[in-house]
Amino acid sequence: MSLVATLMVTARRDLLLAMRRKSDVMVNVFFFVIVVSLFPLGVGPEPALLTKIGPGVLVVAALLSTLLGLPRLFAADHADGTLEQLALSPLPFGLLVSGKILAHWLVCGLPLVLLAPVLGLQFGLDGETLGVLMLALLIATPLLSLIGAIGAALTLGVRGGGALLALLILPLYVPALIFASGAVEAQMAGMSTGGYLSLLAAMLALAVFFAPWATTAALKIALE
């Protein structure tokens, strides 16, 4: 099998398994919708305030929603022995892990990117700002999945791993949060968004290269 075919087969397998557990998938989406929708109700209907806090609220809610699906990234395969079989496979283990991370983003990240412009209307964001928001999340959410996969691998099989995972990963999410919300705020202020988006893209490129390797190393330790 070619490298791309191996990646897609692994991603397709995880997507099929996710579709059998639709409730797990919908939890992330509903959490994102509910958290974002609660802020206009909580802070009041003042348009200027809602517009000011909107970018930060949407990015933080996306960050937390992505975090919800991380404990399940490797847990099921670890419990039934599939993860060990993947590690023993003649195919590159890092590529198989990359396929699982891709599937996680497609299930937990991409729906948030598509929903964000709709939910952004609650905060009075204009069309151009919503476009920048969607682009920022399109870059940031795979970055969150790649970083989160490292934490999920490090805490695999650990008692209370969910809480430990959050403690490990949330500080690493801060740069993505700053640059994603900063890009939207720069657009609202009439400034250039290129610097923020370029830094996000550079972080994503580094994560694509290093995160699968780090995740694979952590999983091998967990399987020993």
> How many residues are given for the chain?
224
The arithmetic mean of pLDDT across residues 161-180, rounded, is: 87
Given a cut of 60, whether residue 39 has pLDDT beyond it is: yes
Q: Residue with structure tokens 């657009």?
A: 187
Q: Return the pLDDT at 80.
A: 82
Given a cut of 70, whether residue 3 has pLDDT beyond it is: yes
Q: What is the pLDDT of residues 109-139, one digit of tens each?
A: 999 999 999 998 888 888 899 999 999 999 9
- What pTM does this model have? 0.89
Query: What is the percentage of the chain residues whose pLDDT exceeds 70?
Result: 99
Q: Residue with structure tokens 């490990």?
A: 168
State both tokens at 92. 């590159």
